[in-house]
A and B are shown apart, each in its own frame.
Chain A
């Protein structure tokens, strides 16, 4: 199998696309970009490739060892089994959905993934805002079933690379909606804007990588609404462009919480959802959404009461 990395080959295209989006931004929406934010996001991208080169070898060695215990064997020339490629791509995307969902629902995983969300902007440079610390989570475990199933680690790395390249273009406000059939099946800028939103309605929704059908299957899909302006970023916006703080803030916060928590709660600060606290002093995304929904219901209820008290015309009599 020839050596080929989809993400490395795509880098020049990324640069050209960012340039094109900057020109669009200048003409249509100058606020879509913020130079310092872009600098931080792009440096995240460069740093993540270095971190991957430094620490990615551990995951690779685990996968190569696991491959020896595969249940099915595609043979010596596994790369020549044509149907294995699309199958691997689809199954890898299903794996991506779950590892991504874990990345939002388990604080240990969130500590690494939060970087991708900490920009208050949403543009193509945000796509390159990739983690430096993913190797220090247990994300690799999600890929092991595929390796045990017989997919070679190189094949998985290849289709995973294409998955990431696909996800680049959906980080934009320059595209509103794609054709309906496309929106129904594929992850799109519209679906992914929802994922990056901090509006209570949109929190922890649309985890998909390439196929949005996983969110529809597993109950996490939320369509973008035209009547609600999206706010991007994280619940507690950083308020800082410090690169190292952006990389490590959640790790520092999590380790501090574990250190200070009573013994019986320490593991919960590692494995429970972001925002969870043993004394209930903080909010999880579920709590924020529930409170928001409650307020919406109360507001709707009081509107109804006012309407009942001030009828335009008695319904029993003609006006």
Chain B
């Protein structure tokens, strides 16, 4: 196969990929699941870490993220990721700061790609305090 043929095959493949992506968007595929209650948040947390039993749950007003705490003190943040949720158990490298009516949770430099999670919560101050004391 000549270099030119290989180039056109690559270009054709890339164009097909972009076309399929555009089509998936155009067809409105995918979903935006929401955390509709404490049970849902706990169930998602159990999926993030099997056996995680939260005794305190706060769900963001947009219902796209949540903070959960176990009796042993471990704290988990979950966020919507595409059509699903992803989460992290927060470590001492995590930090949190308050904004007006919200909290921004940063899981730490090792989780740069997971990224900070912004949650609009009523009890932001107590969560920020708990996270910063980890």
What is the interface of chain A, defined by CB distance below 8 A to chain B? Answer: 11, 15, 18-19, 22-23, 25-26, 30-39, 42-43, 46, 49-50, 120-121, 125, 198, 200, 231, 233, 237-242, 245, 249, 288, 291-292, 295
Contacts and interface: CB of A to CB of B under 8 A. Distances in A.
Given A237-B86, A240-B114, A241-B82, 11 more contacts: A23-B27, A26-B27, A33-B24, A34-B29, A39-B17, A120-B82, A233-B84, A237-B84, A239-B113, A239-B114, A240-B113
Contacts of A291: 50-51
B24 A237 contact: no
Interface of B: 10, 13-14, 16-18, 20-21, 23-25, 27-31, 33, 47-48, 50-51, 79, 81-84, 86-88, 113-115
A295 B53 CA distance: 12
Contacts of A15: 16, 20
A-B pairs, top 4 by smallest CB distance, nearest first, are A239-B86, A33-B29, A35-B24, A237-B86
A240 B30 contact: no
A120 B27 contact: no
Given A46-B13, A198-B47, A292-B51, A239 B27 contact: no
A237 B107 CA distance: 14
B114 A22 contact: no
Contacts, number: 108
Contact of A46 (B17, B24, B51, B114): B17
Contacts of B17: 39, 42-43, 46
A198 B86 CA distance: 13
B47 A36 contact: no
Contacts of B31: 30-31, 34
A144 to B, nearest CB: 28
16 contacts: A22-B20, A23-B27, A26-B27, A26-B28, A31-B31, A34-B82, A35-B24, A35-B30, A42-B17, A42-B20, A120-B83, A200-B50, A233-B84, A237-B81, A238-B113, A292-B50
Contacts of A25: 27, 29
A11 B29 CA distance: 23
B104 to A, nearest CB: 16
